[in-house]
Amino acid sequence: AQTVTQSQPEMSVQEAETVTLSCTYDTSESDYYLFWYKQPPSRQMILVIRQEAYKQQNATENRFSVNFQKAAKSFSLKISDSQLGDAAMYFCAYRSDFGNEKLTFGTGTRLTIIP
């Protein structure tokens, strides 16, 4: 079974600075998808970014980018120019490409933005 590990329960960053959230995963599969979801205090799950394992290029969405290291099974999220609205829980998630449709989530990282 796949597992997702987020080793940083909490992180904080000064507004306008850059922060990196870590995620590692364990799988024997070669094709899969990785996601970062954001959960603000409202508790809604919002997709931040996705990465296909077959793509070598790291995904980027505006101020959000990932560092995907397939061999190391690492998938970190970098937030540039942090804003107060970025404060939330961030969950890393894994999805197999072989019919197993469920998302497997990590335990989350609570990000605090310091004004």
Partner 1 sequence: EPEVTQTPSHQVTQMGQEVILRCVPISNHLYFYWYRQILGQKVEFLVSFYNNEISEKSEIFDDQFSVERPDGSNFTLKIRSTKLEDSAMYFCASSAKLAGGRETQYFGPGTRLLVL
Taking alpha carbons only, the member of 70, 77, 66, 67 closest to residue 29 is 70
Taking alpha carbons only, the member of 43, 35, 45 closest to residue 6 is 35
Per-residue contact string for residues 77-106; x = within reach of partner 1 by CB under 8 A:
--------------x-x-x-x--xxxxxxx
Instruction: Write out the two tokens for 61.
Output: 């969405």
What is the maximum span of the chain, computed from C-alpha positions, in angstroms?
A: 44
Kindly state the smallest distance separating residue 18's Cβ from partner 1, in Å: 26
Nearer to partner 1, 63 or 102 (CB): 102
Q: Residue 11 interacts with partner 1 (CB under 8 A)?
A: no
Q: How far apart are CA 3 and CA 86, in angstroms?
A: 26
Among 42, 56, 57, 62, binds partner 1 (CB under 8 A): 42
Residues that bind partner 1 (CB under 8 A): 33, 35, 37, 42-47, 50, 52, 91, 93, 95, 97, 100-108
